[in-house]
Amino acid sequence: MINKDYITADWARKTAETQLGVEAQKQFETCLNAIATSVAKNQFSVTVYFYANNTCIEELKKRGFKAEAKSDQREGDWTKITW
């Protein structure tokens, strides 16, 4: 039997936060790439077609962007970013 003594509430919390951070980082990088592409086309907004999590949205706001995530049963998920 495998020893599972390392599994504690602290371990579970830190592991979950790290995983969320990895997902948020992927979303954030996707958003930054989409922003750069839109700027090259002289646009002032971009829509990415996923529901950005709060960590990603907060990082965008720290950089001065406005970001709003939406979810619609018929139309799916998207996040609109403006500057």
Q: What is the pLDDT of residue 21?
A: 79
User: Is-above-0.85 flag for pTM?
Assistant: no
- pLDDT for 33-79, tens place per residue? 999 999 999 999 999 999 999 989 999 999 999 999 999 999 999 99
> What does the block give as tokens for 40?
């090259």
- pLDDT for 20 beyond 70: no
Q: What is the pLDDT of residue 34?
A: 98
Please spell the DSSP secondary structure of the chain, one letter per residue.
----TT--HHHHHHHHHHHHHHHHHHHHHHHHHHHHHHHHTT-SEEEESS---HHHHHHHHHTT-EEEEEEETTTEEEEEEE-
> What does the block give as tokens for 50?
């996923």
> How far is residue 52's CA from residue 34's CA, in Å, rounded to a whole number?
13
Burial class of residue 13 (count of CB atoms within 10 Å of its CB; 0-12, 13-18, 19+): exposed
Q: What is the pLDDT of residue 19?
A: 74
- pLDDT for 22 beyond 90: no
